[in-house]
Chains A and B, each alone.
Chain A
Amino acid sequence: MVDTNVIVAEGIVKTYDDSGVPVHAVRGIDYTLTKGEFTAIIGPSGSGKTTFLNVLAGLDTPTEGKVWLSGKLISEMSGRELSDFRRDHIGFVFQAYNLFPVLTVEENVEYIMLLQGIPPAERHKRVMNSLEKVGIAEYATRLPLQLSGGQQQRVAVARAVVSRPSLVIADEPTANLDSKTSGALLDMMRKLNEETGMTFLFSTHDEIVIQRAKKIVVLRDGKLDGNTSPEKFE
């Protein structure tokens, strides 16, 4: 594998069993994501975006095919190795904010570094730095429910990037946000991408995300239906 490839997927098939009826969510996809990309996977609802992202992130196992993450074959990793790999290499942003409601903003962002065993002083420094980058440092001691949806998603982004992963995967990150907040969030993420070189991979059907993506991957009925730039897509 070439070093610049963050993800390499070959012949990915994912079939669910829905009460005895097979549901083909992903139908044989070959895909490569390279370092520093800011790519959006788009497609209508039910096209298999989330399933495809889950397989790429090692959250779900493909029915067929192989996935290499940063050069490592996922299927050869044990559950524990895969957990540790996700912890150290992948940041996640989910559509429903995904914050732990009983932890403060600071504790939420700190959580992954806690799992990594990073010392408290270093954790605090990096948490505040991340919160400042997403413009929400003054809310560090608040609980998620005391924040707006946009603010919560910013915290989620801070948590996803604080441990400096090589890849950030965001599943419909703007699904619950208004257009203004979505735009601001995407601008912030793109800035992080440009400043740090972190790779971002989104699933979305939000026009605002699509406009800001550097690359678009179209998924339709579980298959890749093109690989293009936002301009060409428009």
Chain B
Amino acid sequence: MFCRLVKFAWRSIWRNGRRTVITGLAVGMGLGSMIFYEALMQGMSEHMIQTTTESWMGDAQIHRDGFLDTKRIDLTVERPDSVLFMLGQDSTVSACTPRILSPASATSTTELKPVTLIGVDSETDPAVTMLEAAIDSGSYLSGDSTELIIGYKLADDLNAAPGDVIVITAAQADSGLSSNMFFVSGICRFGSDDLDRYSAFINLNTAGRMLGIPGSIHEIAVRFAESEMGADTTLGFWSKFSVFRNSALGWPELAPQVSTMLNMVDLGMAITAMILFALVVFGIVNSLFMSIFERMYEFGVMKAVGTRAGTINAMVILEAFWIAVISTLTGSIIGLLIIWITSRTGINFGEFDVSGVVFNKPLYPILKLSRVWIYPLFTLILTTAAGICPGIHAGRLNPAEAIRKSL
């Protein structure tokens, strides 16, 4: 009986083929756009995470407790050699690099600008950050104590070019002031205001000596074997390296604005999906009710000859199911097709900034089946469920009244 009902329902939806096609296309286009939107947001999210973690931050960082809140120069990582050794032995870590950080000022022959002075280990840094790759002109650090890399915006502000002299002044750990002269060895372009306008990079040992903390470091940036580990709060890494009065933090805690933005993107997706699915449900309910009113006589006859209300209800739900199958297939094909095309061409939105992350290249949608599958499934379930109400209505029809009204 059920197989016959399935067949009956399939044939019934094609009695008004145009309506079925239009309904299927309407729902399908909604689903297709949701799938594409999800992939586009995924692309944007990954771009934000990559820009945030790969360019400079790393997937995780280790600091002395309280350093991030106070930025006090004397709050250096406890037992840095032991920590770096442990990191080298940890299977989840693919690379790590130590840093020194301090507020400072950069003075050129014409300008003075506030900067964050960053001491970088030029040997280990390229495996963790994009500093070397971001060099736009000049060269990367070679270990010379007078080398300085600045961002292109800071270079503009200071009217500086490679080879020019810049004086960096910073407070020392013992409250003294230290001024050193550097030569601009390279100008970098990260695509982040923080790094391009407000950072100055020098060699790690030079920074240690300048700030009066030789051999000490403020931060260790860590690159994990898998980038998702940075947001995995269950990872044993966090407790393992939150020792010796140090704290290990992942990028969501280090860049809460990015994390919040990503949560907002997810929330936006959920709200959009809810609106879409509500429209889908109303559309299908409307379509099925129209179909029922057109076939009042038929339902009346079905009831008259002894079809139970539940069977009629099941048949209407099966009709909704078939429309759901058509819509889901159509929507999935539309969505995947748009993703396939745009993942090759990219979508250029021009240059814009979201939570400090600059988007200046085409965005490429990323299809993550682990996230996308939910939309076709929801469409299938909700569209089918939309048949329940019209089905109950059809099942409750009084046969005599249904036949009389349609005559």
Contacts and interface: CB of A to CB of B under 8 A. Distances in A.
Nearest to A117: B1
Nearest to A85: B306
Given A103-B8, A114-B1, A59 B400 contact: yes
Contact of A83 (B11, B307, B398): B307
B400 A54 contact: yes
Nearest to A99: B301
Given A83-B308, A86-B304, A102-B12, A114 B400 contact: no
A63 B346 CA distance: 71
B301 A115 contact: no
Given A54-B400, A114-B1, A102 B8 contact: yes
Interface in A6-56: 50-51, 54
B309 A83 contact: yes
A114 B4 contact: yes
B72 interface: no
A80 interface: yes
A111 B15 CA distance: 19
A224 B111 CA distance: 112
Contacts of B399: 54, 59-60
Given A50-B404, A60-B398, A102-B15, A96 B305 contact: no
A103 B11 CA distance: 8
B404 A88 contact: no
Contact of A115 (B12, B15, B307, B398): B307
Interface string B289-302: 00000000110011
Contacts of B1: 114-115, 117
Given A102-B12, A103-B8, A115-B311, A86 B305 contact: yes
A87 interface: yes
A86 B301 CA distance: 12
Contacts of B369: none
Contact of A84 (B8, B12, B306, B398): B306
B401 interface: yes
A139 interface: no
A94 interface: yes
Most buried by B among A50, A51, A115: A115
Most buried by A among B11, B12, B306: B306
B303 interface: yes
Contacts of A87: 305-307
B403 interface: yes
Contacts of B303: 59, 83
Interface in A89-111: 90-92, 94-96, 98, 100-103, 107, 111
Nearest to A143: B11
A60 B402 CA distance: 11
A115 B306 contact: yes
Contacts of B398: 59-60
B179 to A, nearest CB: 90
B307 A92 contact: no
A79 interface: yes
A174 B107 CA distance: 105
Interface string A58-72: 011000000000000
Contacts of A114: 1, 4
Most buried by B among A60, A79, A98, A102: A102
A159 B309 CA distance: 20
A24 to B, nearest CB: 16
B306 A57 contact: no
A183 to B, nearest CB: 24
Contact of A59 (B302, B304, B309, B407): B304
Contacts of B302: 100
Nearest to A103: B8
A57 B399 CA distance: 11
Interface string B2-31: 001000100110110000000000000000
Contacts of B298: 100-101
A115 B307 CA distance: 7
Most buried by B among A79, A85, A95, A159: A79
A112 B306 contact: yes
Given A54-B400, A59-B399, A94-B403, A112 B15 contact: no
Nearest to B311: A115
A112 B308 CA distance: 11
Contacts of B311: 115
A79 B399 CA distance: 11
Interface in B300-345: 301-309, 311
A79 B309 contact: yes
A80 to B, nearest CB: 6
A92 B305 contact: yes
A103 B401 CA distance: 24
Contacts of B401: 60
B25 to A, nearest CB: 22
Interface string A97-136: 0101111000100011011010000000000000000000
21 contacts: A51-B400, A59-B403, A60-B398, A60-B399, A60-B401, A79-B309, A80-B309, A83-B308, A84-B308, A86-B304, A86-B305, A87-B307, A92-B304, A98-B297, A98-B301, A100-B8, A100-B301, A100-B302, A107-B4, A112-B306, A114-B4
Given A54-B399, A90-B306, A102-B15, 17 more contacts: A54-B400, A59-B304, A60-B398, A60-B399, A79-B309, A83-B308, A84-B306, A84-B308, A87-B307, A92-B301, A92-B304, A94-B301, A96-B407, A102-B8, A114-B1, A114-B4, A159-B305
Interface of A: 50-51, 54, 57, 59-60, 79-80, 83-88, 90-92, 94-96, 98, 100-103, 107, 111-112, 114-115, 117, 159
Interface of B: 1, 4, 8, 11-12, 14-15, 297-298, 301-309, 311, 398-401, 403-404, 407
